[in-house]
Structure 1
């Protein structure tokens, strides 16, 4: 199995860019609300397909290294930029503002993408690979729509917001009041337009080179940039999250937990895994939130677990 490494990442950039520009097929999917960007690639001897549901702020461009790696390991890959981020349509005049009207709109998009794009180009076994917000989207999709996915690999799924020292009740009350007063399109308290934080201030990864490449990608293409969340986005999330506990996922599930996550609440991940007999959970030592963009000593074991999981369901 091939693993991309930090030490070779700069040397491999030309190969990664060549793959991204010339191998990856890019197109757009028209939905009732707007146009979504997506991409896919199928190696000649693909063993199965991996369909990626990325996290908030993320998109296809950020996943270049991972897509290239999956492709070189003979996996067909499909990825969609969720509404309001990446190269997909933005809801508001200020395109930096994170907003969604209803959280379930995300899973409706994923269903349309699966039916009209993935299933049109791939008829073999497939798995959902979902990170953070994309994990919540994937879970709702799997419990709501008819599908034939063989399994789902969840990387630090957003099942509960990490509110640190602020009580959840206080956060919910403040967001509900803001929505009632008509501030759903306004930034939530402390949120602002895209700002590239220095590496030593970030809570996403401990891999300096991968973090810097992410920031360089967004600097080179400003249209990818997304700022903080609005009260409307928070309201949609807070309204949706309690339903996660009631979702019944019948296919095999693997939950990858980041030990030092400061973005999502890990207690909710344990609860999800314990409530499903078909679920496995693993905590990755010293990992921050973005397992796919971590240091090699964290990222490689996480990817090994992903590949082992995929092999177990590819029957």
Structure 2
């Protein structure tokens, strides 16, 4: 059953919990301090792997799997993962998507994000879970995904519905905005180009990473604080920087997103989808349509928010954390 949830915090406890979590990240200076004192030591312990597993005094057999979006290293989500592990008392694993962050990059130009087939991302999850079962015990998975990560979680849940207990999907990449061009046209053009030697070339509008000002072609966030923090991370860790996507990646993304309607009847677990009204990357209307197809889906609309909801203004992030904790 499709539901619009009341966005008012349900009780005082959740309000206190959120502010307890976010107190060190209220200002840019506080965020950098938290990064140096809490996040960086954990990152240094994890960075020899393509994932970061946080374990401890847990009370749940549910494993939380966090899947970042396109061009995002998992380091950007590590603070949130530490909060979940501590406050929710669950094992948490952050995944470094192939071609991004510390994961392997197949092309000579390491700035390019490229995959042969989008199913490789889904297969990577399977391989990781096999590895994790040798380290921890879990019987269910709760996915928290953003954009591309949301699409990967959505497709994985179709294949393994009995394993997935919940999907929390931020700005899921069901339909990519392509400067007003028809989806079918873009899919066909990129599919053709990906069958030529141009498949490993940057797609239209893509290129190596360049630092840009907050007001210049910023489609990610309306929060200056989070934009500046992201820039700080790129300067501190240039090895994590990626530029843009190849025609091969774009074609794979369109092909996989095109199958979004197939198999949705299998998704009977709890699903929460977040849509940003000012999203310039994916179509928020398609998120609503997909949520309506599911038996247990809650749609949360964040007014005047942009695409990167986990790095948005605090008024928007609070609403995300209502559902995560």
Pair 1:306-2:324 in alignment: yes
CA deviation string 1:105-162 (max 9, x = no partner): 1000011112222673242654110110001111111112365231110011101111
SS of 1:3 mapped into structure 2: helix
CA deviation string 1:232-273 (max 9, x = no partner): 111111222111111332321111111111111112211211
**C-alpha distance in structure 1 between counterparts of 2:209 and 2:34, whole Å:** 29
Asked whether the equivalents of residues 167 and 271 of structure 2 are also in contact (C-alpha less than 8 Å), the reply is yes
Q: Which protein has greater RCO, CA pairs closer than 8 Å, 6+ apart?
A: 2
**C-alpha distance in structure 1 between counterparts of 2:258 and 2:184, whole Å:** 13
Residue number in structure 1 paired with 2:53: 40
Pair 1:225-2:241 in alignment: yes
Residue number in structure 1 paired with 2:46: 26
Residue number in structure 2 paired with 1:214: 230
Is 114-123 or 282-291 further displaced after alignment?
114-123
Q: Given the superposition, is the C-alpha separation of residues 46 and 215 from structure 1 closer, same or farther in structure 2, using an over 3 Å criterion?
A: farther
Under a length normalisation based on structure 2, what TM-score does the superposition of the two structures give?
A: 0.85
SS of 2:157 mapped into structure 1: helix
**C-alpha distance in structure 1 between counterparts of 2:314 and 2:41, whole Å:** 27
CA deviation string 1:210-234 (max 9, x = no partner): 1111111112221111111111111
How many aligned positions are there? 300
Residue number in structure 2 paired with 1:68: 82
Is 295-304 or 20-29 further displaced after alignment?
20-29
Q: Given the superposition, is the C-alpha separation of residues 243 and 169 from structure 1 closer, same or farther in structure 2, using an over 3 Å criterion?
A: closer
SS of 1:199 mapped into structure 2: coil
Is 172-181 or 73-82 further displaced after alignment?
172-181
Task: Summarize the alignment of residues 52-201 of structure 1 with structure 2, pairs less than 5 Å apart.
Answer: 52-73=66-87, 74-117=89-132, 120-123=135-138, 125-145=140-160, 148-201=163-216
Deviation at 1:12, TM superposition (A): 5.2
SS of 1:112 mapped into structure 2: helix
Under a length normalisation based on structure 1, what TM-score does the superposition of the two structures give?
A: 0.87
SS of 1:267 mapped into structure 2: helix
Task: Choose which of 16, 27, 30 in structure 2 pairs with 1:11.
Answer: 30
Residue number in structure 1 paired with 2:11: none
SS of 1:254 mapped into structure 2: strand
Asked whether the equivalents of residues 31 and 229 of structure 2 are also in contact (C-alpha less than 8 Å), the reply is no
Q: Given the superposition, is the C-alpha separation of residues 20 and 287 from structure 1 closer, same or farther in structure 2, using an over 3 Å criterion?
A: same
Deviation at 1:21, TM superposition (A): 3.8
**C-alpha distance in structure 1 between counterparts of 2:31 and 2:184, whole Å:** 47
**C-alpha distance in structure 2 between counterparts of 1:72 and 1:58, whole Å:** 23
Q: Given the superposition, is the C-alpha separation of residues 119 and 27 from structure 1 closer, same or farther in structure 2, using an over 3 Å criterion?
A: farther
Residue number in structure 2 paired with 1:312: none
Gaps of 5+ in 2: 1-16
Pair 1:293-2:311 in alignment: yes
**C-alpha distance in structure 1 between counterparts of 2:133 and 2:68, whole Å:** 16
SS of 1:235 mapped into structure 2: helix
Gaps of 5+ in 1: 30-36, 308-315
Q: Which runs of 4+ in 1 moved over 6 A?
A: none
